[in-house]
């Protein structure tokens, strides 16, 4: 066992230039692979813990303005990015269309907010997925690069056989063993990359489900507030600043103006 390591290093140093170039390339791929793995593991753990904290803040109660201020302080939470997209769409609708709405308008508003939330989910997932496809590239390409080095090394061994006119094991073995190191290096770079890629894609799938669930909760919150804004005239007497025009099952000329809670 004591002589195994030196013999391997000796084969590496005495390998042909093409095989050495292949080994250096695979070493670079391996370094990139492990760097991505370390960075993404840290990012996914950070995103998960930040999501938990932000969701707790979201359900603590209070206005959406307060939650928006919390979201601005938590950019590491994907949920905060989704929330800000939905909240900004809501604010833009209120600025452009005014606070008075009908049930038909409410449905349109909810559709616009839903599209904004979907955009936020895609943006957050895209940021989390960044550089992950490179793992798939390394996992697919590394074995073939290693195989190329092996084939090239075996070609050199057969060339030496022709030059020496001998097919003895002593003539063939050194070149073939040098060549097989390239295949081993290719597999060593590819296996962690493929395993990490599958793990991260699974985490992205779980994150997508979590963000879609949060988006549904946000949309339900907005919808409930619009429904609650239908109040009796006595309740509207001491109304708030923001008025919504809610149209229920009544003729078009009978429009009821109500006051919505100051949640937005």
Give the model's confidence band at 11: pLDDT under 50 very low, under 70 low, under 90 confident, else very high: low
Tokens of 156: 């050199």
Burial class, 236, CB count within 10 angstroms (exposed 0-12 / middle 13-18 / buried 19+)? middle
Q: Is 3 helix (H, G, I), strand (E, B) or coil?
A: coil
Q: What is the C-alpha to C-alpha distance for residues 134 and 218, in angstroms, rounded to an integer?
A: 34
Average pLDDT over residues 177-204: 91
Q: What is the C-alpha to C-alpha distance for residues 23 and 26, in angstroms, rounded to an integer?
A: 5
Give the model's confidence band at 100: pLDDT under 50 very low, under 70 low, under 90 confident, else very high: low
Q: Is 91 helix (H, G, I), strand (E, B) or coil?
A: helix
Q: Is 246 helix (H, G, I), strand (E, B) or coil?
A: strand
CA atoms within 13 A on the CB side of 147: 6
Q: With 80 as the cut, is the pLDDT of residue 206 above it?
A: yes
Q: With 90 as the cut, is the pLDDT of residue 61 above it?
A: no
pLDDT tens sequence across 155-188: 777 766 666 666 665 556 666 777 788 888 899 9
Average pLDDT over residues 83-88: 92
Beta bridge partners of 243: 259
**Confidence (pTM):** 0.75
């Amino acid at each position: 066992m004591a002589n195994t390591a030196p013999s391997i290093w000796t084969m590496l140093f005495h390998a042909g230039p093409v095989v050495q170039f292949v080994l250096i390339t695979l070493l670079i791929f391996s370094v990139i692979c492990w760097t991505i793995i370390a960075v993404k593991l840290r990012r996914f753990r950070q995103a998960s813990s930040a999501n938990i904290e932000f969701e707790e803040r979201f359900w603590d109660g209070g206005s959406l303005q307060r939650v928006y201020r919390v979201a601005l302080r938590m950019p590491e939470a994907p949920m905060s990015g989704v929330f800000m997209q939905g909240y900004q769409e809501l604010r833009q609708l209120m600025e452009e269309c005014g606070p008075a709405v009908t049930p038909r308008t409410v449905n349109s508003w909810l559709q616009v907010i839903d599209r904004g939330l979907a955009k936020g989910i895609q943006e957050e997932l895209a940021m989390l997925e960044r550089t992950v496809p490179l793992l798939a590239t390394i996992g697919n390409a590394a074995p073939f690069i290693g195989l190329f080095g092996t084939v090239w090394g075996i070609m050199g061994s057969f060339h030496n056989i022709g030059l020496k006119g001998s097919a003895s094991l002593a003539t063939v073995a050194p070149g073939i063993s040098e060549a097989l190191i390239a295949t081993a290096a290719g597999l060593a770079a590819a296996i962690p990359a493929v395993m990490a890629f599958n793990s991260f894609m699974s985490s992205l799938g779980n994150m997508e489900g979590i963000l879609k669930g949060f988006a549904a909760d946000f949309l339900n919150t907005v919808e409930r507030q619009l429904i609650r804004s239908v109040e009796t005239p006595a309740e509207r007497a001491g109304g708030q600043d923001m008025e919504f025009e809610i149209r229920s099952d009544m003729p078009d000329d009978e429009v009821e103006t109500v006051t919505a809670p100051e949640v937005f």
